[in-house]
């Protein structure tokens, strides 16, 4: 077949894949942070700790937090290990995650 001159129709295959849908639901929203323990998950990027600490202070001005706990994942480019996420869920009722670059 010569490109551009043939009248035959081609059938071509889709090269793409749709992502598998994750089975996850949003956690219930809290009406207040009073008395809640705040988890701060540092993603190891520069200034992540500083930003999270500042956020913790600002939230502390608005709410009577039950405390804040720092956590850190060693590598910004790898998802947090399940054990780390489980620990945050055990010890905290709310969490802030640093995901900036």
Partner 1 sequence: MVEKGLSSKQYQVGSALEAIEFYYEKGWTDGLPVVPSTAERVEEFLEKAGKRSQDVIGEVPERGRTITAEKVAINAVMAGCLPEYMPVLIAVVEAVTEKAFNLHGSAASTMGSAQLIVVNGPIAKKLGINSGVNLFGPGFRPNATIGRALRLILMNVCGAIPGVMDKSTFGHGGKYSFCIAENEDLSPWEPFHVERGFPREESVVTVFAAQAPIQVTNFIGNTPEDILASVADTMATVGYEQAEIVVIISPEHLHHISGHGWSKRDVKRFLAEKARRSVADWKRVRKMPGAIEHGDEDRMKVVVGDAEDIDVLVGGGGAGPFSICIPLWGGGISSRSVSKLIRMKE
Per CB under 8 A, residues contacting partner 1 are: 1, 3-17, 19-22, 46, 75-79, 101
Cβ nearer to partner 1, comparing 10 with 26? 10
Nearest approach, Cβ of residue 25 and partner 1 (Å): 16
Nearest approach, Cβ of residue 101 and partner 1 (Å): 6
Nearest approach, Cβ of residue 9 and partner 1 (Å): 6
| DSSP states along 49-86 | HHHHHHHHHHHHHHS--SEEEEEE-S-TTSPPPHHHHH
Report the alpha-carbon distance of residue 24 to residue 27 in Å, rounded: 9
Radius of gyration of the chain (CA): 23
Cβ nearer to partner 1, comparing 59 with 97? 97
């Amino acid at each position: 077949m010569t490109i551009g001159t043939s009248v035959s129709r081609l059938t071509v295959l889709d090269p793409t894949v749709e992502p598998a849908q994750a089975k996850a639901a949003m956690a219930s929203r809290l009406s207040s942070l009073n008395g809640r323990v705040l988890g701060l998950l540092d993603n190891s990027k520069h200034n992540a700790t500083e930003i999270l600490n500042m956020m913790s202070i600002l939230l502390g001005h608005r709410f009577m937090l039950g405390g804040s706990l720092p956590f850190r994942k060693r590598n910004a480019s790898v998802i947090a290990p399940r054990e780390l996420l489980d620990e945050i869920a055990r010890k905290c009722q709310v969490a802030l995650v640093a995901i900036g670059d």
